[in-house]
C-alpha cells in the first residue's frame, strides 16, 4: 500500500472540522489546525501517515481517546493520526495478557475481560483511551495499592518517527519500552498496541460514601487521611469537594471502595471506616453494592460530556498540612458550575521504589481540580480561580501528574531529575528531527528538548 492509498482529510474537506475536534472530549476547542487528519484503521495507515509527514517535512500528532484536557492531539500544521477507528481487544487465555489498541477505553476493556473473569485497572473515566492513559503512567483503580497501570505493560508495538514498525519490551528496544511507561505525549513514536497483564476480577465490590457540609471540612479531611492508613489494601479512598447538583450547595464527600471476592470480606474491609466516620453527615451510604461498570457510570456523571473543562493537579509534600493546603481548593469551587476537587492518597505505593521507567514523580498525596462549565463566558472566571488556587498549592507540592496538566498554563516537575534527562536522550535518539509532536508548551516550542522539568515558581 502506498501513502496515497491512505485517506487524508485536508482542510478543504467538509468533514475536516469533525475530524479535527469531533472526538475531543473538552468542549473548550483549541484554535489549532492540523495540515490533515488520518483516521487510521490499521497499522499500515499509521505507517503511511508517518511517511507522508516525513516526505512533506511535517510533524505527526496522535489521538487515542481525545480526553486530554489541553487537546494535545490538535497541533498546527501536523498530520493528526486519529486512532478512534483502529480498535481491537485480543485476550490470551494461557498468558492472561490482553493485547489492545490505544483507542480501547477502560470501559470497553472491562466489559470484554469480565466475561473472562479478569480485569485491568484502567482509567476512572469510562471513555478515556488507554493510549494516553498508559503513556502518562496510568493513575487507575486502586492505584495506591496496586501500583501504576503502566507497570502492567508487558510490551508494546510502535511505529517509529522513521515509519518503521517495532516490538518493544524489556528485552527488545528497551529504551522505548522504558519511555512508554511515563513519558506522556512526549513519547517519540506512535504506539499501535499494548500488551497488558490482567488480574482476577473481583466478585464483591462495595462502597461506603459519606457527604458532609463544608462546616465539617477540617474534621472530616483530618479523619479520612488517618482512616486510609488503617484500611486494608483492597480499599481505594478519595475525598472530594463538590457542588451538590440538586441544591447547588457546596459539600464535602468521602468514598471508600473495596475490591473483594466475597461479601463477608467486603463488609469486613469497610467496618472500620463505617464505625469511625465523623458525625454530622448530610448523607450516609455505607456498604453499597457496586461493580466496575457501576463505578464507570458514576464517573460519567461526574465528568459530563459537552462541557468546558480546565484541570490542574499537584503531588503534595508528604509532610505538608494537607487539610489546610487544600482548604481553598476544596471549599471555594466556582458557583454555578459542576466543578470538583479531589484528593487521592497514594500511599503505601508512594513509599516503595518504583520500577525502572520514565514515571518517577509521586508523593503520598495527589490533588486535582476540575472546573466544569457549559458556557464560554465562564472560562475566564474558572481560569482565574484555578490560577489563584494553584498559586498557593504548588508551593507545597513536589511536582505534578502529566494526565491532568496543561503545559501551556504552568511549568512544574513531572519526573525525577535523572529520569527527565534520560527521557530527553531517548527522544533525541529515536526522533532527532522532532517528527512526533511532543509536549504542547506555550508556543509549542519544546520540540526534541521536551519540558524543563522544574518548578516555575522556584526559578
Instruction: With both helix axes pointing from N to C terminus, report the angle between 292-302 and 106-114 in degrees, rounded to the nearest 10.
Output: 160
Mean predicted lDDT score pLDDT of the chain:
97
Angstrom distance (rounded) from CA 415 to CA 134? 15
Which cell numbers hold the place of 194?
499494548
Range of the domain at 9: 3-82
Question: What CATH number corresponds to the domain at position 365?
Answer: 3.40.462.20
Residues 14, 36, single domain; the answer is yes
Residues 248, 185, single domain; the answer is no
Percent of the chain, pLDDT > 70? Answer: 99
Residues 194, 208, single domain; the answer is no
Q: Is the pLDDT of residue 298 over 90?
A: yes
Question: What pLDDT is stored for residue 3 in this prediction?
Answer: 47
Domain-terminating residue out of 82, 105, 124: 82
The helix or strand, by DSSP H or E, that contains position 146, with its residue range, turns out to be helix 143-146
Number of folded domains that form the chain: 3
* Interval 185-199: pLDDT, tens: 999 999 999 999 999
- For residue 351, being part of any structural domain is answered with yes
Per the model's pLDDT, the better-predicted residue between 457 and 214 turns out to be 214
- For residue 453, being part of any structural domain is answered with no
Cα separations in angstroms, 10 against 5, 15, 30, 54: 15, 9, 18, 17
Question: What pLDDT is stored for residue 297 in this prediction?
Answer: 95
Confidence class for position 5, pLDDT limits 50, 70, 90: confident
Q: Is the pLDDT of residue 4 over 80?
A: no
Angstrom distance (rounded) from CA 386 to CA 312? 7
- Alpha-helical regions (H) of 241-321: 263-276, 292-302
Question: What pLDDT is stored for residue 314 in this prediction?
Answer: 98
Domain-terminating residue out of 31, 59, 82: 82
Q: Is the pLDDT of residue 1 over 70?
A: no
Nearest-10 Cα torsion for 39, 43, 45, 48? 140
Interacting residues of 77 by C-beta distance below 8 A, sequence separation 6+: 33, 34, 35, 58, 59
Which residue, chain included where needed, has cell 471555594?
A: 332
Which cell numbers hold the place of 190?
506512535
Domain-terminating residue out of 373, 404, 435: 404
Total number of residues shown for the chain: 459
Residues 31, 141, single domain; the answer is no
Question: What pLDDT is stored for residue 459 in this prediction?
Answer: 62
Residues 243, 191, single domain; the answer is no
- For residue 452, being part of any structural domain is answered with no
- For residue 18, being part of any structural domain is answered with yes
Angstrom distance (rounded) from CA 430 to CA 435? 10
Question: What pLDDT is stored for residue 85 in this prediction?
Answer: 98
Question: What pLDDT is stored for residue 309 in this prediction?
Answer: 98
Residues 212, 355, single domain; the answer is yes
Residues 316, 249, single domain; the answer is yes
- For residue 419, being part of any structural domain is answered with no
What is the torsional sign of CA 218, 220, 222, 224?
negative
- For residue 434, being part of any structural domain is answered with no
- For residue 120, being part of any structural domain is answered with yes
The helix or strand, by DSSP H or E, that contains position 241, with its residue range, turns out to be strand 235-243
**147 Rama sector, left if φ>0, alpha if ψ -120 to 50, beta otherwise:** left
Question: What CATH number corresponds to the domain at position 32?
Answer: 3.30.43.10
As beta bridge partners, residue 242 has 251
* Interval 8-32: pLDDT, tens: 999 999 999 999 999 999 999 999 9
Question: What pLDDT is stored for residue 457 in this prediction?
Answer: 77
Which residue, chain included where needed, has cell 484503521?
A: 41
Query: Cβ(402)–Cβ(311) under 8 Å?
Result: no
Q: Is the pLDDT of residue 173 over 90?
A: yes
Q: Give a three-class secondary structure readout of 125-167.
A: CCCCEHHHHHHCCCCCCCHHHHCCHHHHEEEEEEEECCCCEEE
Residues 140, 46, single domain; the answer is no
Angstrom distance (rounded) from CA 243 to CA 340? 7
Percent of the chain, pLDDT > 90? Answer: 97
Question: What pLDDT is stored for residue 246 in this prediction?
Answer: 87
**SS3 category, 152:** helix
Question: What pLDDT is stored for residue 2 in this prediction?
Answer: 47
- For residue 349, being part of any structural domain is answered with yes
Q: What is the mean pLDDT of residues 66-95?
A: 98
Residues 152, 209, single domain; the answer is no
Closest Cα partner for 82 from 139, 34, 124, 27? 34
Cα separations in angstroms, 91 against 99, 118, 151, 196: 6, 10, 18, 9
Closest Cα partner for 338 from 377, 366, 310, 363? 310
The helix or strand, by DSSP H or E, that contains position 112, with its residue range, turns out to be helix 106-114
Instruction: With both helix axes pointing from N to C terminus, report the angle between 263-276 and 217-230 in degrees, rounded to the nearest 10.
Output: 140
Q: What is the mean pLDDT of residues 107-129?
A: 97
Burial (0-12, 13-18, 19+ Cβ within 10 Å), 440 = buried
Angstrom distance (rounded) from CA 293 to CA 110? 7
Question: What pLDDT is stored for residue 456 in this prediction?
Answer: 84
Report the chain's terminal Cα–Cα distance, integer Å: 51
Query: Cβ(423)–Cβ(179) under 8 Å?
Result: yes
Query: Cβ(370)–Cβ(339) under 8 Å?
Result: yes
Angstrom distance (rounded) from CA 426 to CA 37? 27
Question: What CATH number corresponds to the domain at position 194?
Answer: 3.30.465.10
Query: Cβ(210)–Cβ(262) under 8 Å?
Result: no
Angstrom distance (rounded) from CA 17 to CA 33? 9
* Interval 228-281: pLDDT, tens: 999 999 999 999 999 998 899 999 999 999 999 999 999 999 999 999 999 999
Residues 218, 344, single domain; the answer is yes
Residues 45, 169, single domain; the answer is no
Q: What is the mean pLDDT of residues 34-54?
A: 98
Strands 397-399 and 283-290: unpaired
Query: Cβ(102)–Cβ(89) under 8 Å?
Result: no
Residues 31, 99, single domain; the answer is no
Angstrom distance (rounded) from CA 192 to CA 400? 27
Q: Is the pLDDT of residue 67 over 90?
A: yes
Cα separations in angstroms, 280 against 13, 212, 213, 223, 244: 59, 7, 8, 13, 17
Strands 118-119 and 199-200: antiparallel
Amino acid at each position: 500500500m502506498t501513502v496515497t492509498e491512505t485517506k487524508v482529510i485536508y482542510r478543504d474537506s467538509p468533514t475536516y472540522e469533525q475530524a479535527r475536534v469531533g472526538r475531543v472530549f473538552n468542549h473548550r476547542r483549541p484554535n489549532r489546525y492540523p495540515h490533515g487528519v488520518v483516521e487510521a484503521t490499521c497499522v499500515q495507515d499509521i505507517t503511511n501517515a508517518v511517511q507522508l509527514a516525513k516526505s512533506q517535512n511535517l510533524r505527526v500528532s496522535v489521538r487515542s481517546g481525545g480526553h486530554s484536557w489541553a487537546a494535545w492531539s490538535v497541533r498546527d500544521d501536523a498530520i493528526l493520526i486519529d486512532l478512534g477507528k483502529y480498535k481491537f481487544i485480543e485476550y490470551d487465555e494461557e498468558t492472561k495478557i490482553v493485547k489492545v489498541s490505544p483507542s480501547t477505553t477502560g470501559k470497553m476493556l472491562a466489559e470484554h475481560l469480565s466475561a473472562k473473569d479478569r480485569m485491568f485497572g484502567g482509567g476512572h473515566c469510562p471513555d478515556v483511551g488507554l493510549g494516553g492513559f498508559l503513556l502518562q503512567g496510568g493513575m487507575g483503580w486502586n492505584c495506591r495499592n496496586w501500583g501504576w497501570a503502566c507497570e502492567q505493560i508487558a510490551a508494546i508495538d510502535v511505529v517509529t518517527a522513521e515509519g518503521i514498525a517495532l516490538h518493544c519490551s524489556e528485552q527488545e528496544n528497551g529504551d522505548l519500552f522504558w519511555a512508554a511507561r511515563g513519558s506522556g505525549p512526549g513519547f517519540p513514536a506512535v504506539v499501535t498496541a499494548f500488551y497488558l497483564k490482567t488480574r482476577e476480577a473481583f466478585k464483591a465490590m462495595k462502597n461506603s460514601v459519606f457527604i458532609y457540609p463544608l462546616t465539617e471540612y477540617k474534621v472530616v479531611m483530618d479523619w479520612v487521611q488517618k482512616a486510609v492508613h488503617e484500611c486494608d489494601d483492597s480499599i481505594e479512598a478519595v475525598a472530594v469537594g463538590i457542588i451538590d447538583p440538586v441544591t447547588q450547595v457546596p459539600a464535602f464527600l468521602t468514598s471508600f471502595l473495596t475490591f473483594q471476592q466475597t461479601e463477608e470480606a467486603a463488609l469486613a474491609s469497610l467496618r472500620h471506616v463505617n464505625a469511625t466516620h465523623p458525625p454530622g453527615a448530610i448523607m450516609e451510604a455505607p456498604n453499597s453494592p457496586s461493580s466496575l461498570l457501576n463505578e464507570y457510570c458514576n464517573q460519567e456523571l461526574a465528568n459530563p460530556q459537552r462541557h468546558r473543562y480546565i484541570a490542574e493537579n499537584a503531588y503534595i509534600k508528604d509532610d505538608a498540612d494537607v487539610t489546610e493546603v487544600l482548604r481553598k481548593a476544596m471549599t471555594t469551587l466556582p458557583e454555578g458550575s459542576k466543578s470538583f476537587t479531589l484528593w487521592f492518597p497514594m500511599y503505601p505505593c508512594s513509599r516503595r521504589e518504583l520500577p525502572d521507567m520514565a514515571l518517577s514523580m509521586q508523593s503520598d498525596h495527589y490533588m486535582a481540580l476540575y472546573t466544569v462549565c457549559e458556557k464560554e463566558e465562564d472560562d475566564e472566571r474558572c481560569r482565574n480561580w484555578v490560577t489563584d488556587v494553584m498559586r498557593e498549592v504548588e508551593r507545597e507540592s513536589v511536582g505534578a501528574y502529566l494526565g491532568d496538566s496543561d503545559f501551556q498554563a504552568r511549568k512544574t516537575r513531572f519526573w525525577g531529575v535523572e529520569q527527565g534527562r534520560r527521557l530527553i536522550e531517548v527522544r533525541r535518539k529515536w526522533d532527532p528531527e522532532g517528527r512526533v509532536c511532543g509536549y504542547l508548551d506555550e508556543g509549542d516550542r519544546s520540540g526534541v528538548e521536551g519540558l524543563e522539568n522544574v518548578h516555575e515558581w522556584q526559578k
